Copies of this chain bind each other. A is one copy, B any other.
Amino acid sequence: MSDDSATPDRAGRRDALAEAAAELVLREGLGTMGLRGLARRVGTSDRMLIYYFGSKDALVTGVLARIGEKLSVLLQAYSAGPPVSPGAFLGQVLMLGRDPVVMPFMRVWTDVIARAAAGEAPYDMVAKKVVADWTAWIGTRLIPDPDRPCPPAALLSIVEGVTLLEMACPGSTTEAGPWLAEALLRADGRAG
């Protein structure tokens, strides 16, 4: 009974490994996802990772799911305010993406989507869910505009594009983000 946390059972150990891997991926990116290297960094062996997760694909999926849960917790704090216009939302999210706590998540998600774009399994499946979750969340954060509804994918495209370009060529988008946010704000002004 009292062993529930003191002596974690199989599921507990699996969770602990997933947690350690998630933290590592958030810190160092998805490039770390080789079984041996990952195992060494989280203090176990490739043998054990397969033992607890069954396959590398299941491991990756599990770790990314865990990262998703962490992010959704973070985002709940930002989902408190009232819905806003697309321009205002973009400004908020681009600012949010520069928060050192949130930035690792943006980088990981963009990396996932990039690998999905290259057709790499199992990231293609994960990416579908990530995109669905993001668009759903964006949809809840936007003021509904019956005349000219903003497709959440439009804002997601911008965020992903800016993040991707910033990862590939650091510094190349420092002016782009604010300019885009302001441009959409101007469009907001003419929309109503």
A 88-146 contacts with B by CB, 8 A: 110-111, 113-119, 124, 127-128, 131, 135
Encode contact with B along A35-55: 1 for CB under 8 Å, 0 otherwise. Answer: 000000000000000000000
Task: Kindly report how many copies of this chain are found in the complex they form together.
Answer: 2
**Is there an interface contact between A165 and B111, defined as CB atoms closer than 8 Å?**
no
State whether A156 and B165 are in contact (beta carbons under 8 Å apart), knowing that A31-B119, A118-B111 are contacts in the complex.
Answer: yes
Residues of chain B within 8 A of A153, CB atoms compared = 165, 172-173, 175-176
Encode contact with B along A58-72: 1 for CB under 8 Å, 0 otherwise. Answer: 000000000000000
Q: Complex: how many Å from CA A172 to CA B110?
A: 16
Residues of chain B within 8 A of A119, CB atoms compared = 29, 31
**Is there an interface contact between A151 and B168, defined as CB atoms closer than 8 Å?**
no
- Closest B residue to A128 using CB positions: B169
Chain A interface residue count: which class?
A: 35 or more
- Closest B residue to A127 using CB positions: B168
Stretch at the interface among A10-18, A19-27, A75-83, A182-190: A182-190
**Is there an interface contact between A179 and B154, defined as CB atoms closer than 8 Å?**
yes
- Closest B residue to A86 using CB positions: B183
Asked if A191 is an interface residue, CB under 8 A from chain B, the answer is yes
State whether A30 and B161 are in contact (beta carbons under 8 Å apart), knowing that A179-B150, A187-B186, A190-B190 are contacts in the complex.
Answer: no
Residues of chain B within 8 A of A110, CB atoms compared = 117
A-B contact pairs, 11 of them (CB 8 A): A114-B114, A114-B118, A118-B167, A127-B168, A131-B168, A153-B165, A153-B175, A156-B165, A160-B161, A160-B164, A189-B190
Chain A positions within 8 Å of B, measured between CB atoms, are 29-31, 86, 110-111, 113-119, 124, 127-128, 131, 135, 148, 150-151, 153-154, 156-162, 164-165, 167-169, 172-173, 175-177, 179-180, 182-184, 186-187, 189-191
